[in-house]
Amino acid sequence: MQPSKNHWDKIYTTKEPNEVSWTQELPKTSLDFVHNAKLNKQASIIDIGGGDSKLVDYLLDDGFENISVLDISAEALNKAKNRLGQKADKVNWIVSDITDFKPTKTYDFWHDRAAFHFLISEAQITKYLSTARKAMKENGIVTIGTFSTDGPKKCSGLDIKQYTEETLSTELQNGFEKIKCVIEDHTTPFNTSQNFIFCSFKRMKKITKFIKDAAQYYPYGFRHILSCL
Ligand SMILES: C[S@@+](CC[C@H](N)C(=O)[O-])C[C@H]1O[C@@H](n2cnc3c(N)ncnc32)[C@H](O)[C@@H]1O
């Protein structure tokens, strides 16, 4: 079964935050990645599949001025807007399936906790990554958190794709360089544990990508250049 707008709208209209496994009072790992990126307050940040996560609340409290939250479910975003009240006006809310998203601006920081892993097919993953490559500024940072191979096999009744540090890094090897990965045991509102892998990647400069790609085809001539990068 593939994730759909109707599925997610129904979840967000029928369940409270304490009734869904992914709820976090404090999205600490995500905030650590944001803070480690040393962004200025005008940096453009997008939370993919942000749902009604409180990440946006903390980013606003930190003084970030250019925040977007994208989700397939309008109901999810309405919940977040209602919670934030007037502060919601400072956020750019985008209702879209990420695989249909056509960014109209570029971003310094892309965050995704527990949305990417719902993309099961090669075609969906390819679209997501192609959008991320186009949407990110050079040196912009993409942080993705998914269930690990020690985590659940399903979420919200839907199949998900589990990742390891290696498999997630392999997905992003075209156009991104890995910065750091961490494992997190998320405690659900029902006191169960879900094992996540979070990795951050830097959008490669086009020239670096060109040289790395070329080195794959001409490994001897380019080895020296590569070692200098
Ligand atoms: C498990 S929830 C995680 C929500 C939030 N990121 C968090 O950490 O609390 C997954 C979210 O991804 C959204 N989602 C699922 N598939 C999506 C897609 N194809 N495009 C955009 N959002 C999607 C869902 O509506 C839901 O809000």
Q: What is the pLDDT of residues 73-89, one digit of tens each?
A: 999 999 999 999 999 99
Q: Is 111 in the pocket of ligand 1 (CB under 6 A)?
A: no
Distance CA 1, CA 153 (A): 13
Asked whether 50 lines ligand 1 (CB < 6 A), one says yes
Angle at 58 between CA 19 and CA 147, to 5 degrees: 50
Is the confidence at residue 95, as pLDDT, over 60?
A: yes
Residue 205 Cα, ligand 1 centroid: separation in angstroms? 29
Predicted structure pTM score: 0.92
Domain 5-228: which topology? Rossmann fold (3.40.50)
Q: What confidence score (pLDDT) does residue 4 get?
A: 87
- Cβ 51 under 6 angstroms from ligand 1: yes
**pLDDT confidence of 61, banded at 50, 70, 90?**
very high
Minimum CA distance residue for ligand 1 atom 8: 113
pLDDT per position as a tens digit, 198-224 = 999 999 977 666 677 777 766 665 665
Q: How high is the mean pLDDT of the chain?
A: 93
Residue identifier of the C-alpha nearest atom 2 of ligand 1: 114
User: pLDDT (tens digit, 9 = 90+) per residue, 115-163?
Assistant: 999 999 999 999 999 999 999 999 999 999 999 999 999 999 999 999 9
Boundaries of every domain in the chain = 5-228
228 has pLDDT over 50: no
190-224: burial string, b at 16+ Cβ within 10 Å, e else: eeeebebbbbbbbbbeeeebebbeebeeeeeebee
If pLDDT is split at 50, 70 and 90, which confidence band does 2 have? very low
- 124 in ligand 1 pocket by Cβ < 6 Å? no
Is 98 near ligand 1, meaning CB less than 6 Å away? yes
46 C-beta closer than 6 A to ligand 1: no
